Amino acid sequence: MNTKSSPAKLFLAIAIICSSIQLGVADDASHETSAKNVILLIGDGMGFPQLTLARIDRAGGNVNQYGSVELFMDGMEQTGMVKTSSANSLVTDSAPASSAMATGEKTNNGVISQNSAAIQGKRDGENLTTILEMAEESGLSTG
């Protein structure tokens, strides 16, 4: 397992921790707020064009009105967008996209959580540490 930290991994860990604090529930004993659970929802293949299309659909096809339409996700307290292009292609697939979110590093298409030396079906690369592995190493429960 690669335990070397990168700036992207650090940013991802900090973002999740900050979200946890803000999404917390009151602890009756101390009256402080701490997270009980963090749930990450990922819209695979969803970007700005798909959100625009959803808004146009919600506006009944009226492209002049879609800008004022709100989707349910627009009302969520915490949302984010992440750029997850693969290391070897402008067109990415789910493996490197999810690996970028889980490890903070880019991988090649068809490769899950291994560095960019890995090429699908040809050679393995170095395993990358995921945010779940980092959480478990810190004594947190994951699922």
Active site residues: 94
One-letter amino acid of 51:
L
Among candidate residues 87, 109, 93, the one with its CA nearest the CA of residue 45: 93
Among candidate residues 80, 81, 54, the one with its CA nearest the CA of residue 69: 54
Query: CA 15, 20, 24: angle at the middle one, nearest 5?
Result: 155
- Buried-exposed string 78-112: b where 16+ CB fall within 10 A, e elsewhere: eeeeeebebbbeeebbebbbbbbebbbbbbbbbbb
Question: In whole angstroms, what is the distance from residue 76 CA to residue 58 CA?
Answer: 18
